[in-house]
Structure 1
Amino acid sequence: MDFLGFLNGSGLTQPAIWTAVAIAFVILLRISNVFRYIPNNQVGIVEKLWAIKGSIGGGFIALNGEAGYEPEVLRGGLHVMFPFMYRIHRSDLVTVGQGKIAYVFARDGAPLEPSQVLGANDTEDKSDFQDARRFLLGGGQKGPQRKILREGTYAINTTQFAVITDERVYGHALSERERGVLESMQLTITERWGFAPVVLAADHDLVGIVTVHDGPSLPPGEIIAPEVGIALRDAATFHNNFQEPEKFLSAGGYRGRQLQVIVEGTWYINRLFATVEAVPKTVIPVGNVGVVIFYTGPRTDDVSGEQYRHGELVLNGSRGVWKEPLLPGKYAFNTYAGKIEVIPTVNFILKWMRGEVGAMKLDENLSEISLITKDAFEPTLPLSVVMHIDYKKAPMIIQRFGDVKKLVEQTLDPMVSAFFKNIAQKMTLIELLQNRAAI
C-alpha cells in the first residue's frame, strides 16, 4: 500500500493530505536552508556546517572550503544554497553617520608585532575591510586597526570585523569577553571624543598638540618627536596632519608627543593612534619680543660670539636659547617643545619707592635706598630709572639672567644700591644733596 493509500485509509481527505505534504515540504526546505532571502539593508554571514575538508586548522575564518564561517557575505536578494550544508546569519549593514568616525577591530589575522598598538593597513589588501578574504590573505593583522571608517554604509562581514561606532558595536557571534573588550574600547574612544573629528575653530585661537600612541619609541634623551611627512608634494609620506597613520610611520614618525602641531580646520584622526590637546596660541604684544628657549631640535654651535661668555645662543630651530627673538604677533607654538619669555622693548620706568609699582611690576620688590653719609646721617634715597632693552640683545638677557625681573632684582638693584652707598660714604649730607643731579 502506497503512502497516499495509507493516508486515505486513515480517514484523511485528499485536500488535507496534500496540505500536509506541502507543509512538510516547506518545513524541509526551511530547515535545509536551500532558499534564503537577505533584505537589502542587511548582509548574510555564511556558516558552513560540514565539509569534506573538515574544520579549519587555525584562525577564525574558513578560507579554503573548510567548515566554519566563510569570508564572503551574501548581499540583498534571494539565494539558493546546497541543502543541509549552510546556516545563514543576517547582520545589519554598517552605517557611519555624517561627520562621524567608526573604528574597526579584526578578530582574525596575523598577530601584532611586540611594538605595535594597532593593526597595520599599509597596503590595499590590509585596508579593505569589505573583503575579508583579501584582508586575511594579504597579511592583515588582528586587533584594532589604524584605518578608520568615514561616513557611509558598508557591507562588512561582522564575524571577521567588529565595527565600533558611537551608537553601537557591530559584531556577530561575539563572546562575552570580546563584547567587554569592545565596549571598553568604545568607552576609551568616547573619553577622547574620538567618534567626531578634531575641530579647531578660527575664532578660538587654539593650536592642537598631538601625542602619537603607536610606532617606534623616541631615541634616548629626546622628549619631543621631530616633524616628519610635512612635504605636500611627497605623496608617499605626507600624512596630512596625522590623518594617515601609515604615511606618518613611513616617513619615520615616532611614538610620543609631537613637535608638529595642527591649526584651524577639521581633522579626521584615529584617536587610538593619536590624541590631541588644544592649547591657546602664543601672542607677543606690540612693544615686546619673545625669546625662545627650545627643548628639542639639533644641537648646534654657539653663535653668540667670542666676546660673550655668559652662555650659548643657538640658531633658531636648534636646542637652546634662540639667537633671533620672535617679533610681535601670534604664533602656533608648541608649548611642550619650548618656552617663550616675553621681553619689553619699549621704555619703562623702575621706581625704588615702596608702595609704587609700575605697569610691568618689575619693581614691586624695590624700595628706597638706605644711605649712610660721611657725617653719619642715614637718609633714604627714592630713585626712578628709565630703562630700554634692545630687542636684538633680548636673547642675551634671557641667557644670562633668566628673565627681566631677575635682571632688575639680582643685578640692577644691587649695582645701583652699591653705587649710591659708596658715593654717600664720601660726602656729607649737604654735599650729597648739592651734587644729587650730577650723581
Structure 2
Amino acid sequence: MENSLPLIFMAVAVIVGLLIIWYVITRFLVNIGAKEVGIKERRYFGRRMPQGRVVATDGEVGLQADILKPGLHFVLYPVERVVQKVPLVEIGADELGVVEAIDGEPMPMGSIFAPDRAQNAHNNFQDPIAFIKQGGVKGIQLRTLPPGKWAIHPYLFRVSIAQSTVVPPGKVGVITAADGSPLDAGRLHGKAIQNHKNFQDAEAFIYNGGQKGPQVEILTPGTYRIHTMSSSMEDGSTQAGLFDVRFFEATMITENQIGLVEALDGAPLDPRDYVAMPVTGHDNFQDSNTFITGGGQRGPQKDILLPGTYYINPLLFKVILESAKEVKPGEVAVIVSNTGKDPSEEIRQAMARKIRERLEQEEAQQMQLAAEKLDRVDGDKASLEDIKAELLSGDPADKRLDSGAHEAYVVPEGYRGIQESVVGPGRYYVNTLAVSPIVIPTTNQTVEWTSGDVSNTFDPFEVISKDGFTMQLEVRVVFRVKPEDAPFMVAKIGDVTRLIQNVMHPLIDSIFRNQASESSAMAYLQNRHEEQERAEARVRMHLLKYHVDVVNVLICHIHLPEELMKTQTEKILAEQKQNMFNAQREAEVKRIELEKTSSQADNQRSLMEATVGVDIAGKRSEQR
C-alpha cells in the first residue's frame, strides 16, 4: 500500500499537468470549425481605437477586424481571446445577401446606399481590414452577396436576405430606384444606363449615372438578383433596397383589337401637332430607351399595336384598347387625318375651284331635267327660265357654301384634313388618335315623315292649304351619297345623321309647306302626282349643294280635315243621288214610251179590223 502511494500521486500530478497543458493549449490554440468563423478580442497591450470605430484594424484594444477562418489558430492568450464563434453566412440559390456596414467612412452627402470604394478588395466583405483601410463606407452597401457560404464579421457587417425577383410570364417588372442622380429637367423617368445587367449590378447603375425614381427600362419574365427589400438574419426586420419592383400585366391585344399608345414621357409635343412624330426602332414601344433617345415625344403616338403580347412600361406608355374598324358592303369611310402637312392656301383654292366647277356642271344638268319636268307639270303657267330661277333661289347667306368654301377642307393624301380618297369595305386597324374614320352609307337611304315606328322617321308634315285647311302629309324621301361625293358631303355637313336632322328635315318641310300654301286642299289631293313631281325637283336641286343624290320623293298619304272630308263626301253622295234620280226619271220616261208602244201594238189588230169594217161599210153604201 505504501509502495502504491507514490504512483497515485504521480498519476494525479500527470492528470493535473495534462489538464493544465490542455487549458493552456485551448487558450493559445483555437480550432474553428468548417462552417464557422471566430471573433477575436484584444484585451491588453494595445492602443485605444479611434472614436467611432467599432472594430480594430491595427492591433488596438477591442474587437478585432481580423476574423479566424476554419482551421487551427494560435491566440496570444491572455492578451487576446476568441469571444465568439459564429456560423458562416449562407445565401440560398434563390437569394442574395444585402450587407450593412456598421463601421467605415461616412456616407457621401445625398446618398442612401454606400459605394464600394475598395472595389471588392475585401473579397465579398470577407476581409474586414481591407474594407476599412480601402475606404469602405458605413451603411447599406450597393454590393451584394451572391449564393454561397461567406465568412462575414458579424460585428462589422449585418446581412439581410433578399429574395430573387421573379417576373412571371405575362407580366413586366417596373423598377423604381431609391438612390441615384436627380432626374433630368422635365423628365418623369430615369434614363437608361449601360452595363447594369437588368439592374442586377447596383454599383454599375450608380457609378454610370443611374437616376433616382421610376426607370425607363423594365424587367421581362425571368429571375433576377436585384437589390430589393430584405429581411434581417438576426431579428427578421425588413429594410428597403435600392430598387423597388412592381409587377404589371403585359399588354395583350386580342384579335380584332388594336392598341392606341399615349406616351407619358419624352420630348414635348409641338403645339401645332395632335399626334407625335413617329420614332423608329422602339420595337412596338417595348424598347423604351430607344424611344426616348430617338426623340420620342410625349402624347398620342402615330404607331399602333396590332394583336399580340407586348412587354411595355405601363408608367411610360398608356395603351388604350380599341376595336378594329369595319367598313361594311354598301359603305365607305371618309378619313379625317390629324397628321400630315398643313395644306397651303393654293391647295385649298385649287380644291374649291375643282368643286365649284363640278357643282356647276351637275347643277346645270339637274336643273335642265327638273325644269323640263316641272314645265310639263305646270303647263303654260310658267316659262322654263322662271322655273330655273325658282330652283336656283336660296338663302343668300349660303352662297359662300355653294362656292365650295367648306369643300376646300378636303385635301390630297399626305395633308392634314379630310382626305379626298375614301376607304372601301373591309376590316382595318385604324389609329383613331391619328385619323378619324366617318362611315358613310352609299346605298339608298330612306327618310320618312310618317306616324309609323321605323328608323329615320319624323312626324307627318302639318301644312296649311291656300283655302286655310290643315293637311297632314306622309312623305318618303329616298336618297344616296355617291362614294366620290362622300368626302365633300362630310366637309359640308358632317355625317348622314346631321344631313338628315339639320338639312333634309327643315328643307323638305319648308318645300312642302310652300307648295301646300299655293293650292286648295282638294286641288292638292287631286293633283297629288303633280305636287310630288314639283317637290322632287325642288328637293333634288337643293340637296345637290350638299353632294346628295335624290332618288325620289313620294307623297305616301294626304290626310285632309275630317269636316272637309265629310262635306266632300256629302257632296259626292248628293251628286250621286242626283245622278241616280235623273237616271230613274229617264228610265220612267222610257218605260212610259215603251208601254205606249206596247199598247198601240196590242190594239193594232182591232184597229185594223175596224178600219177594214169602215172601208167595207163605205163601199157598200156606194153600191146602193
Q: Give me the TM-score of the superposition, normalised by structure 1.
A: 0.75
- Residues 34 and 81, structure 1, Cα contact 8 Å, conserved in 2: no
Q: Find the aligned partners of 2:410 and 2:93 in 1 and give their Cα distance.
A: 68
Residue matched to 2:221:
151
Q: How far does residue 390 in structure 1 lie from its aligned partner after superposition?
A: 0.4
Tell me: higher relative CO, structure 1 or 2? Use CA pairs within 8 A at least 6 residues apart. 1
Choose the corresponding residue for 1:209, options 260, 273, 276: 260
Q: Find the aligned partners of 1:90 and 1:152 in 2 and give their Cα distance.
A: 20
- Residues 33 and 87, structure 1, Cα contact 8 Å, conserved in 2: no
User: CA offsets, 1:5-36, max 9 Å, x none?
Assistant: xxx97996876876787889668715765554
Residue matched to 1:131:
201
Q: Find the aligned partners of 1:30 and 1:195 in 2 and give their Cα distance.
A: 46
Q: Find the aligned partners of 2:142 and 2:114 in 1 and give their Cα distance.
A: 6
Choose the corresponding residue for 1:97, options 144, 168, 181: 168
Q: How far does residue 279 in structure 1 lie from its aligned partner after superposition?
A: 2.2
Residue matched to 1:41:
94
Structure 2 residue runs without a partner (length 5+): 1-14, 41-65, 70-87, 119-134, 357-403, 534-624
Q: Which structure has more helix as a fraction of its residues? A: 2
3-state SS, counterpart of residue 272 of structure 1: coil
Choose the corresponding residue for 1:305, options 331, 345, 352: 352
- Residues 218 and 313, structure 2, Cα contact 8 Å, conserved in 1: yes
Q: How far does residue 346 in structure 1 lie from its aligned partner after superposition?
A: 0.6
User: CA offsets, 1:80-103, max 9 Å, x none?
Assistant: 579976555443333333333223
- Structure 2 residue 411 is matched with structure 1 residue 314: yes
Residue matched to 1:227:
278
Residue matched to 1:332:
429
Q: How far does residue 428 in structure 1 lie from its aligned partner after superposition?
A: 4.1
3-state SS, counterpart of residue 195 of structure 1: strand
- Structure 2 residue 184 is matched with structure 1 residue 113: yes
Residue matched to 2:587:
none
Residue matched to 1:74:
145
Taking a change above 3 Å as real, the CA distance of residues 386 and 103 of structure 1, as seen in their structure-2 partners, is: closer
Q: How far does residue 212 in structure 1 lie from its aligned partner after superposition?
A: 1.7
Taking a change above 3 Å as real, the CA distance of residues 218 and 17 of structure 1, as seen in their structure-2 partners, is: same
User: CA offsets, 1:296-324, max 9 Å, x none?
Assistant: 54322436331122341123454332222
- List aligned pairs for 1:226-305, cutoff 5 A: 226-229=277-280, 238-301=281-344, 302=348, 304-305=351-352
3-state SS, counterpart of residue 319 of structure 2: strand
Residue matched to 1:432:
524
Q: Find the aligned partners of 1:370 and 1:128 in 2 and give their Cα distance.
A: 79
Taking a change above 3 Å as real, the CA distance of residues 342 and 16 of structure 1, as seen in their structure-2 partners, is: same
User: Which letter maps to 1:226?
Assistant: M
Q: How far does residue 393 in structure 1 lie from its aligned partner after superposition?
A: 0.8
Residue matched to 2:561:
none
Q: Find the aligned partners of 1:15 and 1:343 in 2 and give their Cα distance.
A: 105
Q: Find the aligned partners of 1:431 and 1:50 in 2 and give their Cα distance.
A: 112
Structure 1 residue runs without a partner (length 5+): 1-7, 163-168, 187-193, 230-237
Q: Find the aligned partners of 1:101 and 1:75 in 2 and give their Cα distance.
A: 24
Q: Find the aligned partners of 1:98 and 1:410 in 2 and give their Cα distance.
A: 54
- Residues 304 and 323, structure 1, Cα contact 8 Å, conserved in 2: no
Q: Give me the TM-score of the superposition, normalised by structure 2.
A: 0.55
Residue matched to 1:233:
none
Q: Find the aligned partners of 1:151 and 1:142 in 2 and give their Cα distance.
A: 23
RMSD (Å), alpha carbons: 3.8
Taking a change above 3 Å as real, the CA distance of residues 151 and 403 of structure 1, as seen in their structure-2 partners, is: closer
- Residues 97 and 162, structure 2, Cα contact 8 Å, conserved in 1: yes
Q: Find the aligned partners of 1:86 and 1:299 in 2 and give their Cα distance.
A: 66
Larger radius of gyration: 2
Residue matched to 1:398:
490
- Residues 201 and 264, structure 1, Cα contact 8 Å, conserved in 2: yes
- Residues 291 and 326, structure 1, Cα contact 8 Å, conserved in 2: yes
Q: How many residues align?
A: 394
Residue matched to 1:234:
none
Sequence identity (%): 27
